[in-house]
Amino acid sequence: MLKITGLNKLQKELKEAEQALSQLDGELGVVNFDPDDPASIEAAIQSVIRIIDSRIEPYADNPIVGSLADQMKESYRENMLQKAAEARLQSDEDE
């Protein structure tokens, strides 16, 4: 007979992941930054990271949630850096 262990733990982690994702659904917040100021860009990125962390805090020990949150943070970071670069290019073209 085959005995599967850990299924209850996995089900619990999946349920928590679903709950955490519902906390991240929709608009997280609004951040503004100066595309010409690296410190301003980094402050905006850190603000988004804090928002995500605060929303998933009850599930911080869940490895599924942690992995998804890390991916989300990196995606926002890359997106904001891209937006800043685009804004700088647009600014240069307007001059």
CA–CA separation, 57 and 40 (whole Å): 25
Output the CA torsion sign for 19, 24, 25, 29.
positive
- pLDDT per residue rounded down to tens, the chain (95 residues): 666 666 788 888 888 888 888 887 777 788 999 999 999 999 999 999 999 999 889 988 899 899 999 999 999 999 999 999 999 888 877 76
Answer yes or no: pTM beyond 0.85: no
